Amino acid sequence: MDFSNIEVALVELLTEFVPKVAGVITLLVLAWIISGWLGRSVSSAIGARIDQTIANFFGSLTRYGVLIMALLSVLQIFGVGTTSFAALIGAAGLAIGLALQGTLGNFSSGIMLLAFRPFKVGDVISSGGVTGKVAEIGLFSTEIDTFDNRRFTVPNGSVYGSTIENIFYHTTRRVDVTVGTDYPASISDTRQVLLSAAADVDHVLTDPEPAAVLTGLGDSSIDWVVRVWVKSEDFWGVKEALTQRVKEKLDEAGIGIPYPQMDVHLDK
């Protein structure tokens, strides 16, 4: 056995691969440091403008992107062809994208909700067939608590893809109470009675002023709408109190609230 040849081959092997190994280790260490720094920078920059949830996601995406590029560079250093490897990654990405099409749609809708902010946590909304208070806005779904204390997890695609009603977006709301009165009752007297009912209810705003609007002449009643403005948080309490007071004031004034009737005539 010729040990000199083996020694020469071993020296050549070490001479060729030791620098490569040292370079690879240096590259990976630098990539790890740079990826962490870039990830934190992206997360901080986006978090200051949009939302911390989205910021953390893009920060992680940046970090892993840098690490993947470093690994591809390592393969290139050792002579491993990356063309077929990149094609394999692309095909796998396409397959995963098709399989997760609905999930990716919810993800993109979540980004749009966080970017455009049609509502925020704590708002009462109606969207995706659910009405309630927003508990959390996630990347893939929105958590909504209904008024009877049920928790709904609604996919963001259903929320962003439908009409969104932000019920508490404005600080004030209008309360409408509809009522029908007897035809014999005086129009002017009925209007004054309805306005006095509105004046008796607490938390009703004076600007705009309460109004009693004549809306139509029905088959069996004169149709009215009593309209008052309130702060959004007082809406339901004022609506109930106003409905009750309208009934009481009409009873006090002797003005009836008719109901549909039908007269049947029999021919002899």
Among 67-71, 92-96, 224-228, the range scoring the smallest mean pLDDT is: 92-96
The per-residue pLDDT for 241 is 95
pTM: 0.57
Residue 74 is part of a domain; what is its CATH number? 1.10.287
Rounded to the nearest integer, the mean pLDDT of the chain is 81
pLDDT at 227 exceeding the cut of 60: yes
77: left (phi over 0), alpha (psi -120 to 50) or beta: alpha
Sequence-ordered alpha helix ranges (H) in the chain: 3-47, 52-77, 83-99, 101-116, 156-160, 187-199, 235-252
Indicate the pairing of strand 165-166 with strand 172-181. unpaired
For residue 16, tell me if it sits in a domain: yes
Tens of pLDDT, residue by residue over 171-199, are 899 999 999 999 999 999 999 999 999 99
For residue 142, tell me if it sits in a domain: yes
For residue 207, tell me if it sits in a domain: yes
Tens of pLDDT, residue by residue over 134-149, are 888 877 888 899 989 9
pLDDT at 98 exceeding the cut of 60: no
Q: Who contacts 154 (Cβ-Cβ below 8 Å, separation ≥6)?
A: 127, 128, 129, 130, 141, 142, 143, 144
Whether residue 93 sits in one domain with residue 18: yes
Q: Please give the residue range of the domain that contains residue 247.
A: 172-252
Whether residue 190 sits in one domain with residue 161: no
For residue 260, tell me if it sits in a domain: no
For residue 29, tell me if it sits in a domain: yes
**How many separate domains does the chain show?**
3
Residue 217 is part of a domain; what is its CATH number? 3.30.70.100
SS (H, E, C) 246-258: HHHHHHHCCCCCC
User: CA-CA distance, 139 to 114, in Å (whole number)?
Assistant: 9
Whether residue 149 sits in one domain with residue 210: no
Whether residue 95 sits in one domain with residue 13: yes
One-letter amino acid of 228: V
Whether residue 135 sits in one domain with residue 188: no
Tens of pLDDT, residue by residue over 36-65, are 888 888 778 776 766 665 666 677 778 878
Strand order from edge to edge, sheet including 124-127: 151-155, 141-145, 130-137, 124-127, 165-166
For residue 239, tell me if it sits in a domain: yes
